[in-house]
Structure 1
Amino acid sequence: MSNLPRGVIDLAQQIVSEFAAKGLMVATAESCTGGLIAGAVTEIPGSSAVVDRGFVTYTNVAKMEMLGVQEETLATFGAVSRETALQMVHGALFRSHADLAVAVTGIAGPGGGSAGKPVGLVHLAARSRSGNYLHREMRYGDVGRDQVRLATVLTALEMLLELSQA
C-alpha cells in the first residue's frame, strides 16, 4: 500500500480512469522525482492500460543517452531549465509508444541551489503527439526534499490531465 498523500492518489486514479477511457498511454521522464510520478500512477489498479514507460534520467549523460537532450542545451542552459525540460519531454514522447508525456527536472535539495537556481526550482513540461505542450516553472521554495518532490508529482499529474483535455 502506498504512503503517497491522498491528493496524489486521487489525481493518479483520475489519470488511469480517464486515460483508459480515451485509450491514451503516458510516458514519464524524471530527474528530481526519481520515478515517483510513474510510481504514483502505477499504484493504481489498471494502470497497465495507460502507462507505457518511465525514464529516470538523473545525470546529464542519462538525459542525453536516453532522451536525446542535446549536450549544447545542457551546457548553455543547465539541467534545470525550460529548454532541458522541453527536450526531455520530446525525447520521452518520441522514444516511447505514449500519446502524452511529462518531464521534470529540478533542485529538490537540501543542497545544490544557487542564487539563480534556488532549491525548490523545478521545470516541468508535458507534451502530446498532436504537438500541444505545457511548460511550468515552479518555485516551491526550500521546503524540504520530500515536499519539493511531492509537489512536483502533483503538478506533473495536473499537467497530464490538463493536456489530455486540450
Structure 2
Amino acid sequence: MAPTTKKPRSPTSSRAAAPSSPNSSTNSNADLVILSSSDDDDRAAAAAASTSRNRERRGPVYQRWSFSDAVQILTVLAAKRRQSGRVPSGSYVFRAFTQQQQHGDPPRLKRAKFTAHDVIKKVSYLKASFFKAVESGGPGDQNGDQIIYDLSRQVWGADDQE
C-alpha cells in the first residue's frame, strides 16, 4: 500500500481566504481561523498519556531514617536488653512504636510512615554497622557516631556476636 498524505484544506469561501487589511470595512471576525476542538483534545490526550507513562516508570520513594530515629530505635532495644537480658527483634521495636501511637501518645519517631519490614531492616543495618565499627577499631568521626556506637554496644555488646 502506498502511504497516504493529507491534503491541505481549501478555503470554502473567498472571504475566508482573503487576507485582512487594517483599512478593511468587513467584519474582522470573518478572518479568524477556528480550530476544531478535536485537535486540542488530541494534544491534551497525548500529553496526559505521556505524563501517566512517566508516572508509571518512577520507582518507589524512599524515606531516610533520621539520626534521632536511629537513637530512639537503639534506646528501645537497649532498654529491653537490660530488662530481659536478650536482644529483642525488630518486630518488637515496631510494636513498641505502633502501640504507643494507638494509645494517643505522640509518636517518638520523626519518620511518618514505616512498616515492620522497614524497622527490621533498620535494626539489621544498625547491627551490621556496629560490628563493622568494632572490626575497624571504634566509631567513626562523623557527628553522632559515638552516640550510635555507645547505644549499639549496650544492645549487642562488643563481644556478643549473634
What TM-score does the superposition give when structure 1 sets the normalisation length?
Answer: 0.24
- Rg bigger for which structure? 2
Which structure has the highest helix share of the two?
2
Which structure has the highest strand share of the two?
1
